[in-house]
Amino acid sequence: MTPVGRRNVLAAGTGLAALLGAGPGTAAAAGRPPMGPTVSARDFGAAGDGVTDDTEALQRAFDAALRGVDAEFVVIPPGSYLVTRPIRVTTRGRPEGNVTRRAGISANGARIVSHITDGRPVIEIDCRATLRFVLIEGLEIKGRGMEGHGIVVRCERRGTYFYNFCLRDLVVEGCGGDGCRMIGNVFEGQIFNSYFRENKRNGATFGHGPNDTVFSAVHVFGCVFGDNGEHGVALIDGAVDVSFHGCYFLLNQRFGMTAETGCVLLSHCGFENNHMKAKRFEDGDAGLRLMVGGTLIGCTSYSIYNQTHLVRSYLTGSLTMIGCTGEGGARARRAGLAVVDGKSGSETNVIGCRGRVEMPRDREIPGIGSSIRFGGRWDSSNLPWIGDHCLWVDRDGRLRFKRGRPEYDRDGRIVVMQE
């Protein structure tokens, strides 16, 4: 499928997600638990006609619903809501600012259209207490490139927490900063089925914050990070405890994802045609920049432009890759699986993968394959191979090798072991 065709499919998928969550009469909505107390943005004067400035009305609705211990859901009915400055949720301090019940924003079918021109975010949540069980669903944010980030969550004061949260079915595109930015004590949450595309900076940025505030235990499912001006996702300032499952990183100007201190897990994620900023394949780089270490399971990389590998790593810890592939076509036909470098004592395990692995020519990375045990009999299904030569142990305990697979126990030649 061509990139243009894939973008059209993604756009169609976005519309389908919105349709499935469009109202209480849908099957998707019917399977969800009730939200609890709600207020409607329409009750505060929001028009949703795409012409009226709805900034004040939305701000009043957010203030009424989300600032106290009795927080509720803001329901934004279907429509197009024009805003000219940020919509902010700033909690009170502890304990009066604590929210420990289900609350948030339900906006299936609603689009916020930004006319912000001074680089400030569209929606900003400044957590100065404990916010728990916050749900933001169904919202679309359409930027014009002159605002800042699309959605910002900050929890940067010690002793404050934003956790057990859920973001789902969001579309954030065209913003002048990141699509989504979450910094500080943000943890034990999930992001589902959301699209972060065509933002001028990163699709999403996750990071630790000041005052020893920690971003951790966040799981991202089935999201798309594409066509962004920098990276699809950036893990910054020490954030590493994030996992991505079934996500797609494509057509970003630089890396599909960059993780400067590692990433605990990527499973069944795809990286396609990142490094669109590069002028040619030789100037490109891998889909994933993974420093320190991490684990990849069933991840794929495909390129016809400038993406050169699935992953580039400089390791100080351990990298494990299981069932991953790296390949390309057209001018990227030399694309491979990985470029791996690292410090002495680092470890790389590549199991059941396809694609070229490049390492420094002057040495091997310590520990490659160190955790793998191979079969030893000549007819074992998982004999070790070095290039096109196979090794096994015969019935007399002697190590043998042969070019190609052995046909019987004493096939090939004995490897002479010197004391």
Domain count, the chain: 3
**What is the pLDDT of the chain when averaged over all its residues?**
88
Are 329 and 196 within one domain?
no
Please say if the pLDDT value at position 161 is more than 70. Answer: yes
Give me the half-sphere count of Cα atoms (radius 13 Å) on the Cβ side of residue 345.
3
Residue 254 counted as domain residue? no
The amino acid occupying position 377 is: R
- Provide CB contacts within 8 A for 288, sequence distance 6+: 249, 255, 256, 257, 258, 259, 266, 271, 296, 299, 301, 310, 311, 312
Distance CA 253, CA 359 (A): 25
Residue 253 counted as domain residue? no
* pLDDT-above-90 percentage for the chain: 72
Are 49 and 23 within one domain?
yes
Instruction: Give the pLDDT score at 36.
Output: 57
Domain coverage including residue 289: 277-372
Please say if the pLDDT value at position 279 is more than 70. Answer: yes
Residues 42-85: pLDDT tens digits?
Answer: 999 999 999 999 999 999 999 988 876 777 899 999 999 999 99
Residue 262 counted as domain residue? no
Residue 88 counted as domain residue? yes
> Average pLDDT in the 130-140 region?
94
Going from the C-alpha of 228 to that of each of 111, 169, 185, 199, 403, the distances in angstroms are: 20, 19, 26, 5, 48
Are 306 and 173 within one domain?
no
Are 381 and 333 within one domain?
no
Are 41 and 117 within one domain?
yes
Are 230 and 126 within one domain?
yes
> Average pLDDT in the 25-31 region?
41
Are 313 and 216 within one domain?
no
Are 346 and 395 within one domain?
no
8 Å CB contact between 192 and 166 = yes
Residue 296 counted as domain residue? yes
> Average pLDDT in the 346-353 region?
87
- Which one is predicted more confidently, 206 or 28? 206
Are 10 and 124 within one domain?
yes
Residues 355-414: pLDDT tens digits?
Answer: 988 876 544 444 444 445 567 889 886 688 888 899 999 999 899 999 999 999 999 999
Residues 82-111: pLDDT tens digits?
Answer: 999 999 998 877 777 788 888 899 999 999
Are 221 and 313 within one domain?
no
Residue 179 counted as domain residue? yes
Going from the C-alpha of 411 to that of each of 323, 376, 381, the distances in angstroms are: 31, 14, 16
Residue 258 counted as domain residue? no
Are 14 and 151 within one domain?
yes
Other C-beta atoms closer than 10 Å to the C-beta of 231 total: 26
Are 288 and 390 within one domain?
no
Instruction: Give the pLDDT score at 20.
Output: 38
Residue 19 counted as domain residue? yes
